[in-house]
Structures are given as C-alpha cells and as structure tokens.
Amino acid sequence: MKRAALYARVSTLDQHPETQAIELRQFARQRGYEIAEEYVDHGVSGIKVRRPALDRLLKNAHRRRFDAVLVWSCDRLARSTRHFLQVLDELNALGIQFHSQREAIDTEGPLGRAIVIIISAIAELEKSLIVERVRAGMRRAKLEGRRIGRTPLDVDHAALVKDRLSGMSLTIVAKKHGLSRASVVRFVRDSQRNDIPAATGE
C-alpha cells in the first residue's frame, strides 16, 4: 500500500485544522493510501515560504517516507504561483505525487500538472486584482480629500514632555495623555532631538 503525507494549514489561531484533516483522512482511504504522517501549520500565512510543518514534510520527502502528498486545496500549500511550483517541482523530482481534494487534481501525468499550473495562476491573478482594487480605492479617497489610515492623535506634545521631564512616571504620563508608554517615550525623544521647549504653564 502506498503511503501518503497529509498537509493542512490555517492562517489564524482561531481556525481549526482538524476540519481539513478529517476530510483528508477520508480522501486518503478513498485513494487507497496508508497515512504515513500528518503535517499541520497552525496560525501560519500561506504567503510565508518557510513554515515548520511544511519544512519538515519536505525534509521527510527526501527521506522517502511517503509516496504522495495530500492537501485539502492548492492554496493550503502556497499562495504564490512561484512557491507552489517550487514545491511541486521538488516533489516531482523525488517521484512523489501531489493530490488536491477540493480541485480534484493530481500531478500524475502532464494533464494533471497543467491543471495545477492554471489553477495556481488564476489564484494569484485574483489576489493581484484584489490588491489593485484596494489601491484604486485609496487613490480615489485621496482625490476626494478623505483621510486614509488612522486619525492622528490630538496630543499636547509640550505638556506631555513637561510632565515626563518633571519626574512623572511613564505609566502616569501615558494614562494622562491617553497614549501608550512607547508613544510617550517616542514623543519625549523626538522633542529632545528637535529641542521643542516644554510648556511653562504661564
């Protein structure tokens, strides 16, 4: 019986990789595979090339510990076409098949590989279009005079610097002016660099 490695990935910690794993186990049985090991990257973005579970899977692929890799969908393996094809090329060179359950495809034969390339290219195109729509929206908002990003803090910098330099604790200054401790440190440091005089209260 051929051995299969199951790979699952979720990008946030509140998602459950077991949802993918359950379907992959059934998928492996339907394909007649014995499950060699399950690899799970939990809370890891697909944009990242280096991932603990994926790195371990590829290392074990070189050790010939399985004959196929099963994923729930292609985008679980990689988000970019380049990375996706790099992984497929590495598996193919080792004689290891790739199966995606959702797309119902595998890399056995030239047709399967062609389909994988087309699907990954479409996924990357869709992502590029989303990014371009966001950028277009930001450009339109800027032309219309709308502010993009967070509203700037309304802070009396001079008073803040005076409070801090008078010996008031960092925590108290932060609470008084509604800022984080890091922001207080930054404002004081910037004022010292620029020689901004503190308010005298007169």
Q: Which residue has the higher pLDDT, 201 or 139?
A: 139
Residue 161 sits in which domain range?
Answer: 157-194
pLDDT at 94 over 60: yes
pLDDT at 50 over 50: yes
Q: What is the tens place of the pLDDT at every residue in 103-152? A: 777 877 677 777 777 876 777 787 788 888 888 888 888 887 776 655 45
pLDDT at 42 over 60: yes
Are residues 94 and 43 part of one domain?
Answer: yes
Are residues 98 and 21 part of one domain?
Answer: yes
Q: Out of 11, 73, 80, 183, which one is annotated catalytic? A: 11
- What's the pLDDT at 48? 83
- Nearest CA among 13, 2, 67 for reference residue 40: 13
Are residues 106 and 164 part of one domain?
Answer: no
How far apart are the C-alpha atoms of 96 and 115, rounded to whole Å? 17
pLDDT at 187 over 60: yes
- 7: in domain: yes
Q: Would you give the DSSP letter of residue 79?
A: S
Instruction: Tell me how far CA of residue 181 lies from CA of 119, 149, 164, 197, in angstroms.
Output: 48, 22, 11, 21
- 136: in domain: no
Give the confidence band of 72 by pLDDT, cuts at 50, 70, 90. very high
Are residues 115 and 185 part of one domain?
Answer: no
Tokens of 77: 């393996």
- Nearest CA among 42, 63, 60 for reference residue 51: 42
Share of the chain above pLDDT 90, in %: 30
Are residues 165 and 90 part of one domain?
Answer: no
CB contact at 8 A, 39 and 5? yes
Structural domain tally of the chain? Answer: 2
pTM (whole model) above 0.85 = no
- 151: in domain: no
Are residues 71 and 28 part of one domain?
Answer: yes
Q: What is the CATH number of the domain that holds 77?
A: 3.40.50.1390
Tokens of 44: 């890891």
Of 71, 106, 125, the position where a domain reaches its end is 125
pLDDT at 74 over 60: yes
Query: Is 11 designated active site?
Result: yes
- 22: in domain: yes
Give the confidence band of 51 by pLDDT, cuts at 50, 70, 90. very high
CB contact at 8 A, 5 and 61? yes
How far apart are the C-alpha atoms of 136 and 134, rounded to whole Å? 5
Are residues 49 and 103 part of one domain?
Answer: yes
pLDDT at 63 over 70: yes
Q: What is the rounded average pLDDT of the residues 28-48? A: 91
Question: What residues contact 51, with CB distance under 8 A and at least 6 apart?
Answer: 9, 41, 44
Are residues 171 and 73 part of one domain?
Answer: no
